[in-house]
């Protein structure tokens, strides 16, 4: 299975600031996704990170608030902009299609836990 590394693993941020989360996969992958999860709750898809083009956002999420980059097949970033306490959450990077072969399942990083004061 893939190793998906996220940085930072956790952070405490001030209201109004922005934070960029990095996601590195140890092999090329077909698709990368970003999810948000409140502790103990289900996952909400933020967007699909498209390599070399703009991300595809889900309803309720916009590029100005959550800009996403995916410059190559192994790396993506999610920025949480102009943060408010409501953005306090766990942000999960995920991927499928390891080494270009889609075996069906989604693989996850360990998550980035953000607390906004």
Partner 1 sequence: AQSVAQPEDQVNVAEGNPLTVKCTYSVSGNPYLFWYVQYPNRGLQFLLKYITGDNLVKGSYGFEAEFNKSQTSFHLKKPSALVSDSALYFCAVRAEYNFNKFYFGSGTKLNVKP
Ramachandran angles phi, psi of 65, nearest 5°: -85, -35
Closest to partner 1 by CB, 16 vs 54, is 54
**In this complex, which beta carbon is closest to partner 1, that of residue 65 or of residue 113?**
113
Question: Residues in the site for partner 1, rule: CB under 8 A?
Answer: 1, 4, 31, 33, 40-43, 45, 48, 92, 94, 104-111, 113
Comparing CA positions, the residue from 64, 12, 53, 57 lying closest to residue 34 is 57
Residue 80 or 92: the one with the smaller Cβ distance to partner 1 is 92
| Residue 83: CB minimum distance to partner 1, A | 21
* Min CB(98)–partner 1 separation in Å: 12
The minimum distance between CB 45 and partner 1, in angstroms, equals 7
**Minimum distance of partner 1 from residue 7's CB (angstroms):** 13
Give the SS3 label for residue 85.
Answer: helix
Torsion, Cα 93 17 15 25, to 10 degrees, reads: 10
- What is the C-alpha to C-alpha distance for residues 32 and 47, in angstroms, rounded to an integer? 9
Nearer to partner 1 (CB atom), residue 50 or residue 81: 50
- Cα separation, 89 vs 23, in Å, equals 17
């Amino acid at each position: 299975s893939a190793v998906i590394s996220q940085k930072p693993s956790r952070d405490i941020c001030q209201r109004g600031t922005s934070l960029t989360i990095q996601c590195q996969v140890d092999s090329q992958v077909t698709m990368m996704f970003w999810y948000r999860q409140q502790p103990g709750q289900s996952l909400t898809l933020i967007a699909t990170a498209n390599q070399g083009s703009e991300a595809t956002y889900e309803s309720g999420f916009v590029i100005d608030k959550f800009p996403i980059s995916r410059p190559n097949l192994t790396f993506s970033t999610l920025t949480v902009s102009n943060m408010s306490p409501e953005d306090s959450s766990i942000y999960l990077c995920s991927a499928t299609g390891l080494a270009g072969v889609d075996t069906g399942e989604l693989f996850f990083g360990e998550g980035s836990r953000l607390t906004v004061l």
